[in-house]
Structure 1
């Protein structure tokens, strides 16, 4: 059986505060990090989906904050965008984004943050291979939501949806997974050294 320390998200080990204000600040901080990462965007002329830093932020926020706070941070992010704040890629916001081709990916952020947060709460973020596996699964959840929604906007076959909504993003996803898989266990090692 895991100890209480191993079941805590990293943020709780770093900052042992409790309370609703603390939770709200963490959730808003996670949504802000995602909004800032969305501004790192490279439009692809052949696809309605840009390359962004969002997915990395989503997976990192979920892992650091845990399942509930991570998912709530993504819901706050979506709420900010729905209110018209320019938090999405390219400084976009508003209801039109939720009706467009990338909306499925956005909804996938909530489920992905919850999943990687749940896995982190089980210690998956402590070791390089399990951290990489958690990030891979979280990324898969984003595509699980994003690709079916995108298919409504792309006439043609499944191969076209994959060619425009998945394949161009694989190299960047591999890089993001590798960064997270290295950074998270390293963060835990530093925390253990600091405690020791």
Structure 2
């Protein structure tokens, strides 16, 4: 791995830490917002699947070893027990999926739309299922909690996540051009 790639992966891990902790300052309609999905999509779109997921993995590792990079400036191995920890895990897969779809030489609008839809789907499937299992098995679930309730909670976040995803995908080609950063993508042997 090149030093430039290590630096940019570290930068995205740092951006995730900032994005995780903007919620006290950024609320839309009473819903606290983090910018983690934005930075996970940007990591995949700009760095490609390998480096994007590596950057998100670095963020996860930093938090687990105790750096206060998760939401509400939390960190440590105990974070695994948080009902929302599944979303943190999902960012690795979000970056990978977005990167895979956008690291081709010619990328069409269909690739961008697919990348955005898959980013949200991956984020919600991993995160919401983790939340459900955490609240069911080791955390205290609210009265009347069910699998359907866990998914219905996501309805409040969906419009915001769609907006964040669209913004991220509009920014990817502009940032690629402005930064002139092209990670090496391993080509299949002929």
TM-score (norm 2): 0.78
- Among 114, 123, 147, the alignment partner of 1:142 is 123
Q: How does 1:1-196 map to 2 (within 5 A)?
A: 19-42=1-24, 51-122=33-104, 126-152=107-133, 153=135, 154=141, 156-164=145-153, 166-187=154-175
The 8 Å contact of residues 85 and 92 in structure 1, kept in 2 or not, is answered as yes
The 8 Å contact of residues 131 and 185 in structure 1, kept in 2 or not, is answered as no
Closer, same or farther in 2 for the Cα pair 1:187/1:84, shift >3 Å? closer
CA–CA distance in structure 2, aligned partners of residues 103 and 116 of structure 1: 20
Structure 1: any 5+ residue segments left out of the alignment?
1-18
Instruction: Note the C-alpha offset of 1:186.
Output: 4.0
The number of equivalent residue pairs is: 168
Instruction: Note the C-alpha offset of 1:158.
Output: 2.1
What is the root-mean-square deviation in Å for CA atoms of aligned residues?
2.5
Instruction: Note the C-alpha offset of 1:128.
Output: 4.5
The 8 Å contact of residues 66 and 114 in structure 1, kept in 2 or not, is answered as yes
The 8 Å contact of residues 132 and 180 in structure 1, kept in 2 or not, is answered as no
Structure 2: any 5+ residue segments left out of the alignment?
136-140, 181-190
CA–CA distance in structure 2, aligned partners of residues 59 and 167 of structure 1: 20
Matched residue SS, 1:101:
coil
Matched residue SS, 2:91:
helix
Instruction: Note the C-alpha offset of 1:143.
Output: 1.1
CA–CA distance in structure 2, aligned partners of residues 51 and 161 of structure 1: 18
Closer, same or farther in 2 for the Cα pair 1:191/1:101, shift >3 Å? closer
Instruction: Note the C-alpha offset of 1:133.
Output: 2.5
CA–CA distance in structure 2, aligned partners of residues 34 and 71 of structure 1: 12
The 8 Å contact of residues 102 and 111 in structure 2, kept in 1 or not, is answered as no
